[in-house]
A and B are shown apart, each in its own frame.
Chain A
Amino acid sequence: MMPYVNEYDTPDCKTLAETAKKSIRTPESLGLDRCIQCGACTASCPAARFTDYSPRQIVKKVLENDHSVLESEMIWSCFYCYSCNVRCPRNNSPVTIVQVLRQMAINEGIGIEKLGYFLEIGEYLAENGASKVPGAGIKNMERDLGDRWIGMKKNLEFIRSELGLSSRDIRDTHGEVQAILESTGYFEREKWIKAKIQEKKVNGFLKTDCSNNERKSGDFGFESDREYTGQEAFTI
C-alpha cells in the first residue's frame, strides 16, 4: 500500500530535524537546534517517571537523524502534558516533536493500530459537530466505572433538560464541519488508516494487547546513558 503522507504535519525534508521544525505541529520558534541535552524535559516528564520514556533521548535521536526512533514504542508513551514545553530552557518542545514523530510513524503504518480505537471521533464530529469518547472507550469506562456511571449516562438527557440545556449536546454546523473534513483529506486519510490496520491484521502483525507496553523501548535498542561514550575530544 502506498503511504499516505500528511504534508503539513510531516513535510518531506532531508532530515528528521528539518521535518520537525517545518511541521505545523511544532511552534515556529522551536529551539530544537539549541538543545543542550540538559534533561530538564525528562526530569519534568510524568511518563519518564513511571516508564522508561525519555524526551531527552528522543530529541537526541532526532538531532542524529536516527529513523529508528519511529519504530520505538517510546514515542507512544507521551501524555501531551507539555511539562517539557514549559520547562525547556532553550525553547525546545519535545512534546510537539513527538507529535510529529507519531504522525511520521503513522505515515509508515507503524503503531497505526493504536489509532483504531479513536477513529470514531472523526465520524461523530462530522455528524454532530461535537466529539465523544469512542465506543471502545465507553466499554472500558462501563467496566471500570460501574453502575453509578452507567446510570448517569442513561439519565443524561433528563439531567441536561433539568439543568435547562438541550437534551443532547448536538451542534448546528449546517454541514460545514462534514464538508471541511472532506476537503482537508481527513476522510481519505481515515480510510487509508482503516485499510492499513486491516492489512496488518490479515498479515498477523498486529499485537492486540496494548495494555502492557509500558517498558518496551528496550526492544528497539535505545542505548542507555551508560553505553553512550560521548564524542571524541577535539584536540588542537
Chain B
Amino acid sequence: MKAIESIPDRKLLLFKSCMVGQEYPGVETATRYVFDQLGVDYCINDEQSCCTGIGHYTDIFEGLTTTAIAARNFAVARKCGYPNITCLCSTCYAINKEACELLNTNAEVRDKVNSIFREKGFDDLVYEIGDMNPRTNFYHAVEIILSKVGKIQEEKKFDFSGVKAAAHHACHYYKVKYLDVVGSPENPQLIDTIAAACGASPVRWYEDRTLTCGMGFSQLHLNKSTSLQVTKTKLDSLQRAGVELMIHMCPNCHIQYDRYQPVIEKEFGVEYDMVHMNIAQFVALSLGADPYKVCGFQTHSVPLEGFLEKAGIV
C-alpha cells in the first residue's frame, strides 16, 4: 500500500495524456490550476511522447517498443530534473510503472533497449538499473491532489454541499499494480475523500463500483454492443443510487461515460440524470476556477450547464 505521507509535491513531471489533449484538454489545464493553487512544484515537457498505451493494449505495440519508448520518457523526466512522473491517465501510469519494473529486473530487455539507443547515437537516453524506482517515481495526479486534501478544504472558495457524487476509480490505476494503491484496491476511496473535502456527499459504495468502464481498448471498436452493455450496467446502478455527478480520473473512462452516455440513452431507450467530470476539474471549480476558461467543459458531450446552474456556479 502506498502511504499518503510518501506522496511528493516537488519535482513532478506532469505527464501529458494523448486522450486528454484530444478530447478533454480542460483536464490538463484544471490539473495545472489545482497544482498552482496548492503550491505543487511541477513541469510540463513537450519532449515527452505518448506512453504507447493505446497501441500496447490494442495489441499493436509489442513489449519491447513500449519499454523503449518508456525508457526515453524516463530520460526526458530525469534530464529536466523532474523525475516524479505524474500521470493524468491511468493507462500512462500503469504502462510507465510496469516498464520501469521491467527495465530494472530484466537485463536482456534493458541491454536491448540501450543497444538501440547507442546505435542511434541517443547516448543520453541510456537507462541504467535503478535510474528510476517503480514505486517512488510514478504517481497519478489524483494522488497528489489527495495528499493536499487538508489545504483544499481550507482554501476552497466554493462548497459543493448537497451534491450526490460517485467516484469511478480507473482500473489501470488500482488493478494493475495493486500493491501500490493509496488505500485498498478492493475499495479505493481517493476520489471520494477529495470530493468530500469539497463539500460533496460521495456515495461510498454502489453496486458494481469496481466494474470497468467498458472501453476495453479494442472492445469499444470491435465488440461495441458488449462494451456499451458494460458501461450501461454502471450507469444504471448510479441512476438507482440517485447520483447526479460521476467523477473520473482517466480520460478513457471519461470518454466512455461522457461521450457514450447519450449513445446508450438512444440505443437502449433509457435516460440518465448524471453529468461527468474529472476530479481535477471538480477541485478546480471548488478552488474558484472558470468552468470554461480553465475546466474546458465546452468539450464535454453531456452538457454541464444544468448542473453548474443548480450548484450555483454559473
Contact partner, B60, options A82, A122, A164, A211, Cβ 8 Å: A122
Binds B, one of A32-40, A167-175, A197-205, A219-227: A167-175
Q: What are the nearest 8 A-B pairs in CB distance? A: A169-B21, A79-B216, A81-B212, A82-B175, A129-B49, A24-B63, A118-B58, A183-B116
**Contact at B65–A180, with CB atoms within 8 Å?**
yes
Q: Does any Cβ of B come within 8 Å of A208's Cβ?
A: no
A118→B50 CA distance, assembly (Å): 15
A residues in contact with B293, CB < 8 Å: 162-163
Q: Given A131-B55, A171-B49, check contact A186 B61 (CB 8 Å).
A: yes
Whether the pair B64, A8 counts as a contact (CB closer than 8 A) is yes
Q: Given B21, B68, B172, B230, which contacts A180 in the complex, CB threshold below 8 Å?
A: B68
- Asked if residues B54 and A131 are in contact (CB atoms below 8 Å), the reply is yes
CA distance A85 to B212 in the complex (A): 13
For residue A176, CB closer than 8 A to chain B, the reply is yes
Chain B positions 44-67 with a Cβ under 8 Å from a chain A Cβ: 46-50, 52-55, 57-65, 67
Can you list 6 pairs linking A and B with CB atoms under 8 Å apart? A46-B230, A82-B172, A86-B175, A125-B49, A152-B299, A173-B72
B46 touching A171, Cβ below 8 Å? yes
Are B49 and A130 neighbours in the complex by a CB distance under 8 Å? yes
Nearest CB in chain B: distance from A19 CB, A:
13
Cβ–Cβ contact B259 & A149, under 8 A: yes
A144 pairs with B61, CB closer than 8 A: no
Size band of the A side of the interface? 35 or more
Residues of A within 8 A of B68 (CB): 180, 183-184
CA distance A136 to B222 in the complex (A): 11
- Residue-wise, chain A 184-202 has the 8 Å CB interface mask toward B (1 for contact) of 1110011000000000000
Beyond A23-B63, A24-B109, 14 extra complex contacts between A and B, CB < 8 Å: A46-B214, A79-B217, A79-B230, A80-B217, A131-B55, A144-B260, A145-B262, A156-B25, A163-B28, A163-B293, A169-B18, A171-B46, A183-B119, A211-B222
Contact A179 B120 (CB under 8 A): yes
Chain B contacts for A214, CB-based, 8 A: 223, 225-226
Q: In the assembled complex, how far is the CB of residue A123 from the closest CB belonging to chain B, in whole angstroms?
A: 10
Q: Tally B residues with Cβ within 8 Å of A.
A: 76
Asked whether B223 lies within 8 Å of A145 as measured between CB atoms, the reply is no
Residues of A with C-beta under 8 A to B206: none
* Chain A residue at minimal CB-CB distance from B44: A165
Given that A24-B67, A162-B293, A176-B122 are contacting pairs, would A83 and B109 also be in contact in the complex, using a CB cutoff of 8 Å?
A: no
Chain A residue with the shortest CB-CB distance to B122: A176
Asked, given contacts A164-B29, A181-B65, whether A51 binds B226 with beta carbons under 8 Å apart, the answer is yes
Enumerate A137-156 residues with CB–CB distance to B below 8 Å. Answer: 137, 140-141, 144-146, 148-149, 152, 155-156
| Residue from B47, B59, B216 whose CB has the most chain A CB atoms within 10 Å | B59
- Chain A residues with CB below 8 A from B69, complex form: 177, 180
Specify the chain B residue showing the minimal Cβ separation from A146: B262
Does the CB pair B175–A77 fall under 8 Å?
Answer: no
Chain B residues with CB under 8 A of A6: 62, 64
A47: which B residues are within 8 A, CB to CB? 216, 219, 226
Q: List B contacts of A165 (CB < 8 A).
A: 21, 25, 28-29
- Chain A residues near B53 (CB-CB < 8 A): 131
Q: Specify the chain A residue showing the minimal Cβ separation from B106.
A: A24
C-alpha gap A50/B262 in the complex (Å): 21
One of A59-67, A98-106, A228-236 at the interface:
A98-106
Tell whether, in the assembled complex, residue A115 and residue B49 are in contact, meaning their CB atoms are under 8 Å apart: no
Q: A77 and B223 in contact (CB under 8 A), knowing A117-B218, A163-B25?
A: yes
* Cα A169 to Cα B262 with chains together (Å): 27
Write the chain A residue with the least CB distance to B171.
A81
Question: Is the Cβ of A149 less than 8 Å from the Cβ of B301?
Answer: yes
CA distance A162 to B291 in the complex (A): 13
Bound-state CA distance A133–B299 (Å) is 16
Query: For B161, what are the chain A residues with a Cβ–Cβ distance below 8 Å?
Result: none
Q: Are A25 and B63 in contact (CB under 8 A)?
A: yes
Q: CB within 8 Å of A: which of B157-213?
A: 171-172, 174-176, 178, 185-186, 210-212
